[in-house]
Amino acid sequence: MEFDNLESYYKYIELDVSLEFDYSLSNKLQILAENISNKDVKTICFYELYFTNFSFQKGELIPKLHNNETGDSYPNLALFEDDLDYIKVRSENTLNPKYKAKYNHLLWLSKAKNIIYAKTAVDSYLSFLKVNIVSLEKIENQNLFESYYKNLFILSQNINYKIDEVIILAKSLIGNEKLNGFRECSMMKFIVDEGKKLDIKIIQTFYDYSISVIENDIYPDFLKEFLSFTIILCQKLKLKSHFYNNKLAEYYIKEADKQKENFFAHDYFLKALNEYKNAANHSKIEEVSTLIQEAKKNIDFKTISVEYQSDLLDAYWAFNDNKTSMIIENNSSEAIYTYLINGKILPEALKLEEFSRPVTFDFIKVVNFDINKNISTNKNSGINQYDLHLKNFSINHIWAIFLKGIKANKISLDSLIEYLTTKTWYSKNFTHTDSDGNIEGFDWIELIKPSIQNFFNQVNSDIINGVETKSGFILAIDSLVIKFEGLLREFSRLVGAQTIEIKENGTKERISFDKLLDNEKIVSIIPDTDIAFLKYLFTDKGLNLRNNIAHCFYNTEKYSTGIMLLLIVALLKLGDFEIKF
């Protein structure tokens, strides 16, 4: 549903009482602003757009985009050229507590800071969450509820307002099957971590409940979380935690036994060793130390990279983990696929052509080799920023989305095929019957489905077995790479871009993949970020998958989950266009 005017938008947000966030709201406001000619009304539309593109995390105002290098953000409060007068009016006139809380919370964190805004935000958060307690039977709503609650809790603590009522709200959900075990533990831990001068009775209540969960095996899937939390509570209550340190160590040992043939066992043994040290369990320390030495035999140092550690990187990975969890838990399958298309996941297009040369390169001869160990004719030498960003950040983000999405049953063969069938041009009928009654043309969904089916079968198997089977992705990747060129040619034909050129001798020749992506009509339709991504995947600008797959230059070790994930994202992006037939 599009907005015809501001009134229809206001009506929409007054009726929107769900915990979910409407990711399409920003686009709808953008369209509304573009279609309005009145300057004053257009300005208001943009103010609402900025407001929509802000979010709150643990009481902090978070812009949609932020550049760590420059410090620039979008949106930012400076964009409200009226000194937030419009937002002030909305904070008073809005009745829906979901949005009333956000308007007032934003004002509290701005230069317009006033305790009235903060108290109104707290009151509104409380009203909104109390109404939504009945919807917590849905797992995805539980994470959203916790996110809102964290904003409420931090704000309440900061202004010392309705603290008891806010904590009572959380306590009313603990042990009443309103939340799952993980969410119960998470909310209790947040209160303990962030609470200022927390009443010892609250800590004792959480301790008693956690002990009950552990002793009665109420949440076996979340034993680690409750044991870790109980150890923290013991410290708060000045109790010895040795029993629970030992229990947590035993948990890690059991997990290590499940991972005997890979590196993860080593990591679990190290965690167990740390817990036994905290418990001063000297006999177990010696025993686990021996197990660690044995586990090292499964580590192939030839395949281990040196990793750079920093607080900034740690913060990034924590942010990525939290963000991907929120995306999966808070959204439907369709919204997740839409995020993979429109989310700011890929490197900037310009980085594809950027190569940085360390100073040491000036003192040595640098020679580039292709996949077959032949000297490359590519004149670019050095470190490619695009390749570095995509392999170290983009692919990890995408994999986190898929892994969590698959485990939550939101990303699957059925949901992806349904999305491609209902939301992309691939499902259109490209077949016709010739004069002889033969069917010509392609059913693209039918052609690409086997590749996707093979991928999900393999990745689900790998998740269960805890190991990546590279050979299992050969069929899926080979099939989809070859089909992708056909899809691009079909797309080019549909938009009127040239796909065949006539040689001087009069013969016809198909235009190369590179030239297809450089066609003016294609470039005018597909965003430059996506053009760069396709070039990275399918040309010698990057992985050159089309050439290397077609000519069997890839050995088994070069196939991976990551390549298939990039191909699926490319598939989603190329299909995300409305084409008139």
pLDDT tens digits, one per residue of 539-560: 888 888 888 887 787 888 888 8
Please give the full DSSP string across 110-142, using - where no structure is assigned: STT--HHHHHHHHHHHHHHHHHHGGGTTSHHHH
Q: Tell me the CA distances in angstroms from 168 to 164, 323, 415, 468, one per residue in order.
A: 6, 28, 40, 46
Token code pair at residue 475: 């069929």
Question: In Å, how far from its chain's centre is CA 18?
Answer: 22
C-beta separation of 73 from 67 below 8 A: yes
The predicted structure's pLDDT at residue 116: 98
Question: Is 200 a member of any domain?
Answer: no
Phi-psi region of 496 (alpha: psi -120 to 50; beta: other; left: phi over 0): left
What are 134-169's pLDDT values in tens digits?
888 888 899 999 999 999 999 999 999 999 999 999
**Residue-level pLDDT at 540:** 85
Note whether 255 and 267 are within 8 A (CB).
no
Q: What percent of the chain has pLDDT over 70?
A: 87
pLDDT at 234 exceeding the cut of 80: yes
How high is the pLDDT of residue 318?
83
Q: Which domain-ending residue is among 120, 145, 160? A: 160
pLDDT band at 442 (very low <50, low <70, confident <90, very high): confident
At 469 the pLDDT is 85
What is the C-alpha to C-alpha distance for residues 517 and 498, in angstroms, rounded to an integer?
Answer: 11
Residue 303 inside a domain? The answer is no
Mean predicted confidence (pLDDT) in 514-543: 89
Name 303's Cβ contacts closer than 8 Å, sequence gap at least 6. none
Question: Is 316 within a domain?
Answer: no
pLDDT > 50? residue 129? yes
Closest CA to 19 of 118, 112, 115, 97: 97
* Residue 98 placed within a domain: yes
The total domain count for the chain is 2
Rounded mean pLDDT, 351-358 = 65
DSSP reduced 3-state for 85: helix
Which is higher by pLDDT, 154 or 69? 154
pLDDT at 310: 61
Reported confidence tier of residue 99, pLDDT bands at 50, 70, 90: very high
Give pLDDT, residue 356: 53
pLDDT band at residue 357 under the 50/70/90 scheme: very low
Contact 430, 444 (CB under 8 A): yes
**Residue that terminates a domain, selected from 160, 193, 218:** 160
Domain with 349 in it: 323-575
Q: Regarding predicted confidence, which is higher, 429 or 220?
A: 220
Give the pLDDT mean for 322-349: 91
Q: Where are the alpha helices (DSSP H) in 385-505?
A: 385-389, 395-407, 413-423, 444-465, 474-494
Q: For residues 254 and 250, what is the distance between their CA atoms, to the nearest angstrom?
A: 6
Copy the structure tokens of residue 60.
Answer: 């902090």
d(CA 125, CA 99): 9
Model-wide pTM > 0.75 = no
Contact 266, 298 (CB under 8 A): yes
Out of 60-64, 104-108, 319-323, least confident range: 319-323
Does 239 have pLDDT greater than 90?
A: yes
Length of the chain, in residues: 581
Q: Which of 193-197, 505-509, 549-553 has the lowest mean pLDDT?
A: 505-509
Decide if 486 is inside a domain: yes
For the cut 80, the answer to whether the pLDDT of residue 463 exceeds it is yes
**pLDDT-derived band at 90, boundaries 50, 70, 90:** very high
> Is 566 contained in some domain?
yes
Q: Is residue 253 part of a domain?
A: no
Token digits for 339?
């995020």
pLDDT of residue 314: 73
The rounded distance, in Å, linking the Cα atoms of 208 and 233 is 10
- 375 DSSP β-pair partners: 369
Q: Which two tokens stand for residue 452?
A: 């996707």
Is residue 581 domain-resident? no
Are 50 and 43 spatial neighbours (Cβ–Cβ below 8 Å)?
Answer: no
Q: Out of 125, 143, 160, pick the residue that ends a domain.
A: 160
Q: How confident is the model at residue 581 (pLDDT cuts 50, 70, 90)?
A: low
What phi, psi does 63 have (nearest 5°)? -75, 160
DSSP bridge pairs for 66: 73
Q: What is the mean pLDDT of residues 44-65?
A: 95
Q: What is residue 366's predicted lDDT score, i.e. its pLDDT?
A: 44
More confident residue, 256 or 48: 48
Examine the pLDDT at 100 and tell me if it is beyond 60: yes
User: What is the predicted pLDDT for the residue at 370?
Assistant: 45
- What number is the average pLDDT over the span 22-44? 92
Tell me what the mean pLDDT of segment 533-537 comes to.
92
